[in-house]
Amino acid sequence: MWLPIFGLLIGIALGLLTDIKISSEYANYLSIAILAALDTLVGGIRAHLQNIYDEKVFVTGFFFNIILAASLAFLGVHLGVDLYLAAVFAFGVRLFQNIAVIRRIILTKWSLFKEKAEKN
């Protein structure tokens, strides 16, 4: 449970310490990629809580989503249509849905735990 959070912190520390910067033209793509990654991460947590977690689906979903989102943004820039908004919208909605599901699952688990404690 704590290992992924620890990994996240390590990643952030690594990124801040190495002081890597990308040029501002690509900042858009990175932001969309981050959104996709976050979506996949939250989706993975939800799947884990629902006991339908599959490593293959999770890992491929992660990379595929990032690439798809970035290429959508790229296409949008070249077509003059803000296609990245589509990605932002899709991932944003899914992020909220996933978080809502996670919240409900945790709430149910918590109330079950409480009932058990009361019975005992």
Taking CB under 8 A as the binding criterion, the range among 5-13, 77-85, 97-105, 111-119 that sits at the site for other proteins is: 5-13
Nearer to other proteins, 15 or 82 (CB): 15
Which residue's CB is nearer to other proteins, number 3 or number 117?
3
Site residues for other proteins, 12-71, by CB under 8 A, read: 12-16, 19-22, 24, 27, 30-31, 33-34, 37-38, 40-41, 44, 48, 53, 55, 58-59, 62
Nearest residue to 73 (alpha-carbon basis) of 108, 99, 35, 43? 35
In the 3-class helix/strand/coil scheme, how is the chain assigned residue by residue? Answer: CHHHHHHHHHHHHHHHHHCCCCCHHHHHHHHHHHHHHHHHHHHHHHHHHCCCCCHHHHHHHHHHHHHHHHHHHHHHHHHCCCCHHHHHHHHHHHHHHHHHHHHHHHHHHHHHHHHHHHHC
Tell me: does residue 74 bind other proteins (CB under 8 A): no
If one asks whether residue 8 binds other proteins (CB under 8 A), the answer comes out as: yes
Residues that bind other proteins in the complex, under the rule CB under 8 A: 3-16, 19-22, 24, 27, 30-31, 33-34, 37-38, 40-41, 44, 48, 53, 55, 58-59, 62
